[in-house]
Structure 1
Amino acid sequence: MTIYDNNGGFGACGTELHDTDMIVALAKDTWGASTYNPATGAATNPWCGQRIKVEYNGNHIFAKIMDMCPGCKGADIDLSLAAWKELTKLDEKTRLKASWTPA
């Protein structure tokens, strides 16, 4: 898992994302195709809004998948700053080994 900045830009699910949100971005490999409703433009990818449990070093958090990570591979995830700090208790932005499952 890694960490990424969310400064009010729109994620792959079509909503504005912030560092204070408890969210993750899913690897492009797992995400699949980005799909949209042609009538409304709303994102229809089945991962959008799914809640997951992320575990690291005996700690866990619950977060929502709200974005896609183009640089991530396989089951890798990118965490928002809020999710990262709550899970790892670290200020350092680095890469760590964690696991996640649907919640």
Structure 2
Amino acid sequence: MVSARFYTSAFFLVIAFNHFLFVCTAPLERRIIGASKLLRVKGKLFSGSGTYYKVGSGSCGEHDTDSELVVAVNKAQMGNGSNPNNNPKCDKMVSITGDKGTVTARVVDTCPACANGALDMSPTTFKRVCGDLAEGVCNISWKFL
């Protein structure tokens, strides 16, 4: 015969196991206390000016080319620390929308002259988002993926 104590223990064991499963399967952003700014802004839509630049060695420590889908994030939102090569935003993907379309590009650099919300894009990225390079600048919206 099974005692009431067994049922009580089993009940609490099931409750504890369900709580463990709930916590372990919660999205990472909810589980990390003091998550990085990147996690807090993931998916948030920003808007500003889109420009293009001659790509080369960026603040993330890599050498990229004009033909790649890469961007430089404005200084305020990039938030470089003492060593920008270790910035958690380096190599993150962003989705950018402009007059000519939407593109996914990789963060490789910082744009010190760009205003908050602005991105400096490789010529290839700029053409796909804004159109002809002669435009020079266009309105964009973008977000971290």
TM category (shorter chain) comes to 0.7 to 0.9
Structure showing greater Rg: 2
TM-score calculated relative to the size of structure 2: 0.61
Q: Alignment partner for residue 3 of structure 1, among 44, 47, 52? A: 52
Contact 1:53/1:100, CA 8 A, preserved across alignment: yes
How many residue pairs are counted as aligned between the two chains?
A: 96
Aligned to 1:31: 78
1:13 and 2:60 correspond: yes
Distance in 1, Cα, partners of 2:117 & 2:71: 12
Higher strand share: 1
Kindly indicate whether structure 1 or structure 2 has the higher relative contact order, using CA contacts under 8 Å at least 6 residues apart: 1
Percent identity over paired residues:
25
Query: Which 4+ stretches in 1 moved above 2 angstroms?
Result: 33-36
Aligned to 1:39: none
Aligned to 2:102: 60
Question: Structure 1 stretch 85-94 or stretch 11-20: which is displaced more?
Answer: 85-94
Gaps of 5+ in 2: 1-49
Give the superposed CA RMSD: 1.6
Aligned to 2:125: 83
Q: Give the 3 Å change call, closer, same or farther, for CA 81–58 of structure 1 in structure 2.
A: closer
Distance in 1, Cα, partners of 2:62 & 2:124: 17
Contact 1:56/1:97, CA 8 A, preserved across alignment: yes
Distance in 2, Cα, partners of 1:101 & 1:25: 13
TM-score calculated relative to the size of structure 1: 0.84
Q: Give the C-alpha shift of residue 45 in structure 1.
A: 0.3
